[in-house]
Amino acid sequence: MARVVSFIIQKGGCGKTTTTANTAAYLARQGFKVLAVDMDPQGNLTQHFGYDTDQLDDTILKLFLNQKRFPEVVLKRSPNLHLLPNTIETAGYELTIYKSLAKEFLLRDILHPIINDYDFILIDCPPNLGIFSLNALVASTEFILVVSPEFFPMRAIKPFYDTYLMVKKKLNHTLQFKGVLMTMCDFRTRHSQEVRKVLEKNFPHKLYKSYIRNNVSLKEASSVGQSIFEYDPQSPGAFDYQNFVEEFIRDYEPVRKKRQYYEGKFQQLSDEERNEILHFARQNLTSYVRNKLDGQATEEVIQQALILERNRILEKLFPYRQHTFSRDSKS
Ligand SMILES: Nc1ncnc2c1ncn2[C@@H]1O[C@H](COP(=O)(O)OP(=O)(O)OP(=O)(O)O)[C@@H](O)[C@H]1O
Ligand SMILES: [Mg+2]
């Protein structure tokens, strides 16, 4: 069964769509089967994947209205990356939906028949706590709060938290608060540092160590309808999203097994072989990360980047056969 993850906060412009798009793209590149769901009638996620929302007739709205079936609406961006698109037309429907029965379960019912076809279903939520966000939380196994330091975060998180508790109590008992991701950071500013401290204090076990820096390539990538890994894989944005997703999936069983396999292989090598592989891994890193490593950076995300690169090299030497994680290995 897929992990269903909502990226959510009712405040606008925090990086929810950017995070959903790039997380989906990275997971798909790692071999996972991913469905991205655009729950926002602004259609930004749909546009981020390069679709023209003015030209789309079959969207998630047709599924809400029971006029089409899932296979007729889903867009296949690549074999591993599928999208349920949305457009502004859905906004009108929001007003009528309030009268319908079981209105909080519409998305869950749509996803139910296809939930075993994907490893991850990622939902981009609109910037409010209306019926579409509720639908997202009811359909999810977990959610991630996306927080930018543009505002005082606890002011936005408090009302959200009340909604979460209500959903968990009445509509979705198994919903998990997975974590808090800080986006658009610039730690040269005192404000970013202060917001980080507030989040560390309030969410000591939930705040991701990885964070997303301000990076114009992320904006440019979205405006040309590409993920950051297509648009500029060497950018700080690509580095940050890779690190975030790697942290996010660290506790995921197939990923843990693969990492243990490479750790084992690495430890079996001689000192000389190990040094050689680490040398090549360093060469492959961006100059930003190399410089940080040369300065003996202890930051976990930097160390992780080196291990990821090391594993990429090991993968060529010792292919990990079970690493097609998806349904194939379950069937
Ligand atoms: N780390 C970043 N650095 C620079 N620009 C960013 C970053 N993350 C997102 N952006 C840009 O900021 C704007 C808002 O981001 P995004 O659309 O992802 O936020 P959102 O939370 O989905 O907004 P909304 O609430 O309106 O749906 C976009 O133009 C996006 O390209
Ligand atoms: Mg958005």
Instruction: Locate all alpha helices (DSSP H) within the chain, ordered by sequence.
Output: 16-29, 44-48, 60-64, 70-73, 89-97, 106-111, 131-139, 153-170, 190-202, 216-223, 228-231, 236-248, 253-268, 271-284, 287-294, 300-317, 327-330
Q: pTM here?
A: 0.92
Cα–Cα dist 24/28, whole Å: 6
pLDDT at 115 over 90: yes
Pocket-testing residue among 10, 18, 125, ligand 1, by greatest number of atoms within 8 A of Cβ:
18
Q: Are residues 235 and 313 in the same domain?
A: no
pLDDT score, position 164: 97
Domain boundary among 249, 267, 292: 249
Higher-scoring residue by pLDDT: 120, 158: 120
Ligand at minimal distance from the CA of 149 is 1
Q: Are residues 234 and 265 in the same domain?
A: no
- Of 86, 153, 163, the C-alpha closest to 126 is 86
pLDDT at 260 over 50: yes
Q: How far, in Å, from the CA of 95 to the mean position of ligand 2?
A: 20
The answer to whether the CB of 46 is under 6 A from ligand 1 is: no
Q: Are residues 167 and 260 in the same domain?
A: no
Domain boundary among 201, 221, 249: 249
pLDDT score, position 291: 77
Q: What percent of the chain has pLDDT over 90?
A: 73
- For 325, other C-beta atoms within 10 Å of its C-beta total 21
**Mean pLDDT along residues 27-39:** 96
Q: Are residues 322 and 244 in the same domain?
A: no
Q: Are residues 126 and 226 in the same domain?
A: yes
List b or e across 95-113, with b for residues whose CB sees 16 or more CB atoms inside 10 angstroms.
eebeeeeeebbbbbebbee
Query: How many structural domains are present in the chain?
Result: 2
Query: Given CA atoms 289, 291, 292, 296 in this order, what sign does their dihedral have?
Result: positive
Question: Which residue range(s) make up the domain with 263?
Answer: 255-330
- State the CATH number of the domain containing residue 133: 3.40.50.300
pLDDT score, position 96: 83
**Mean pLDDT along residues 37-58:** 97
Tracing tokens 């698109």 back to the chain, one arrives at 85
Tokens linked to 323 = 């690493």
pLDDT score, position 328: 47
Which residue's C-alpha comes closest to atom 15 of ligand 1?
A: 15
Cα–Cα dist 300/290, whole Å: 14
Q: Are residues 200 and 315 in the same domain?
A: no
Q: Are residues 298 and 167 in the same domain?
A: no
pLDDT at 135 over 70: yes
The answer to whether the CB of 12 is under 6 A from ligand 1 is: yes
Cα–Cα dist 94/292, whole Å: 48
pLDDT at 329 over 50: no
Cα–Cα dist 107/231, whole Å: 31
State the closest ligand 1 atom to the C-alpha of 212, by its place in the atom list counted from 1.
Answer: 1
Q: Are residues 133 and 206 in the same domain?
A: yes
Q: Are residues 176 and 28 in the same domain?
A: yes
Q: Are residues 74 and 102 in the same domain?
A: yes
The answer to whether the CB of 199 is under 6 A from ligand 1 is: no
**Mean pLDDT along residues 285-311:** 79
pLDDT score, position 99: 73
Q: Are residues 141 and 271 in the same domain?
A: no
The answer to whether the CB of 43 is under 6 A from ligand 1 is: no
The answer to whether the CB of 148 is under 6 A from ligand 1 is: no
Domain boundary among 249, 264, 293: 249
Q: Are residues 117 and 12 in the same domain?
A: yes
| pLDDT tens for each residue of 224-245 | 999 999 999 989 999 999 999 9
